[in-house]
């Protein structure tokens, strides 16, 4: 059994529940064991498909009984919270990271949000469905902060001279002269393993321009000055990593 593969986007349709006492994972609408789906030796990452929902951590698959039932080898890399009817994601990332405290979800601390004291003003109208807000970015705003719109916190992806670009579109229009409110993730400590197919990949909010393709361990945290810090460690340098829509974003909700 290989220690890792090159697929970070194994077929992961359906929902799963875990019995912590037995390590048995029961699926609904799953295809465990089928070609292109979860196999023995793969990693199952609970609750993070597309970056949504609560992330519960990782476990190594040690047995597959049917398309709807598999067994994991240990729960040590999980948060301990109940896992029931949740999304999941299957990867061929290095198995040893699951039991490495450096990357264990059980050792993470969840980031929290705070409303920034800085605000901005829209210079012209911004209609529903756009992701570009006409406004001069206020001093102190950084990529990765969030714009509050219609009760949603939308990630800022780019700051221009006269525009603020978002990673997703707004659901409520913004009028000329409207006050813009921003939030920022604070505290927390997040450590994950990512499959990097390109040296210019995004890892959630933290663009790093990694020098290597392959399996990369990334640590993100807020320093004492309130700045987002990103540290990366190449665990396996390799080309040909298959990635897709099932990856992790930062911060991972926990």
Q: Does residue 223 share a domain with residue 144?
A: no
- Statement: residue 20 has pLDDT above 90: yes
Q: Does residue 182 share a domain with residue 195?
A: no
73 lies in some domain: yes
What CA–CA distance (Å, rounded) separates 23 from 73? 7
Q: Does residue 150 share a domain with residue 84?
A: no
Q: How does pLDDT run across 44-53, given as a tens digit for each residue?
A: 999 865 445 5
Q: Does residue 66 share a domain with residue 177?
A: no
What CA–CA distance (Å, rounded) separates 56 from 105? 7
Q: Are the beta carbons of 118 and 155 closer than 8 angstroms?
A: no
Q: Does residue 28 share a domain with residue 48?
A: yes
More confident position, 170 or 106: 170
* φ, ψ of residue 144 in degrees (nearest 5): 105, -20
169 lies in some domain: yes
9 lies in some domain: no
Q: How does pLDDT run across 205-246, given as a tens digit for each residue?
A: 444 555 678 888 877 776 666 666 777 788 898 888 887 766
247 lies in some domain: no
The rounded mean pLDDT for the chain is 83
At 203 the pLDDT is: 46
More confident position, 250 or 14: 14
Count of structural domains within the chain: 2
At 200 the pLDDT is: 52
Q: Does residue 156 share a domain with residue 34?
A: no
At 205 the pLDDT is: 40
Residues written for the chain: 254
More confident position, 208 or 131: 131
Q: Report the share of the chain in percent with pLDDT over 90.
A: 44
More confident position, 62 or 214: 62
Q: Does residue 103 share a domain with residue 19?
A: yes
What CA–CA distance (Å, rounded) separates 242 from 240? 6
Q: Are the beta carbons of 188 and 222 closer than 8 angstroms?
A: yes
Q: How does pLDDT run across 169-198, given as a tens digit for each residue?
A: 999 999 999 999 999 876 666 677 888 776
4 lies in some domain: no
Q: Does residue 92 share a domain with residue 204?
A: yes
118 lies in some domain: yes
Domain carrying residue 144: 112-186
Whole-prediction pTM value? 0.66
What CA–CA distance (Å, rounded) separates 104 from 191? 7
Q: Give the end-to-end CA distance of the chain in Å, rounded to a whole number.
A: 31
Which of 6, 83, 76, 69 lies closest to 42, judged by CA? 6
Q: Does residue 193 share a domain with residue 175?
A: no
Give the mean pLDDT of 142-168.
91
Q: Does residue 182 share a domain with residue 73?
A: no
Band (254; pLDDT cuts 50, 70, 90): very low
């Amino acid at each position: 059994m290989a220690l890792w593969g090159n697929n970070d986007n194994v077929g992961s349709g359906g929902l799963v529940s875990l019995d912590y006492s037995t390590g048995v994972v029961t699926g609904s609408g799953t295809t465990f064991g089928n070609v292109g789906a979860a196999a023995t030796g793969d990693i199952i990452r609970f609750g993070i498909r597309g970056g949504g929902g609560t992330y519960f951590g990782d476990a190594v698959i040690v047995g597959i009984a049917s398309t709807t039932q598999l067994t994991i080898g240990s729960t040590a890399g999980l948060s301990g919270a109940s896992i029931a009817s949740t999304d999941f994601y299957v990867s061929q990332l290095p198995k040893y990271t699951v039991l490495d405290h450096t990357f264990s979800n059980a050792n993470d601390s969840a980031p929290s949000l705070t409303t920034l004291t800085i605000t901005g003003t829209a210079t012209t109208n911004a209609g529903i469905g756009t992701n570009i807000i006409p406004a001069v970015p206020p001093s102190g705003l950084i990529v990765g902060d969030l714009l509050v719109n219609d009760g949603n916190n939308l990630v800022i992806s780019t700051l221009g001279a006269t525009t603020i670009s978002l990673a997703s579109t707004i659901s409520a229009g913004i009028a000329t002269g409207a006050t813009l409110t921003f939030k920022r993730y604070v505290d927390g400590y997040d450590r994950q393993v990512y499959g990097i197919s390109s040296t210019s990949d995004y890892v959630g909010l933290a663009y790093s321009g990694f020098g290597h393709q392959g399996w990369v361990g990334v640590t993100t945290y807020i320093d004492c000055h309130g700045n987002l810090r990103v540290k990366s460690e190449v665990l396996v340098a390799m080309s040909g990593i298959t990635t897709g829509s099932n990856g992790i974003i930062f911060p991972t909700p926990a």
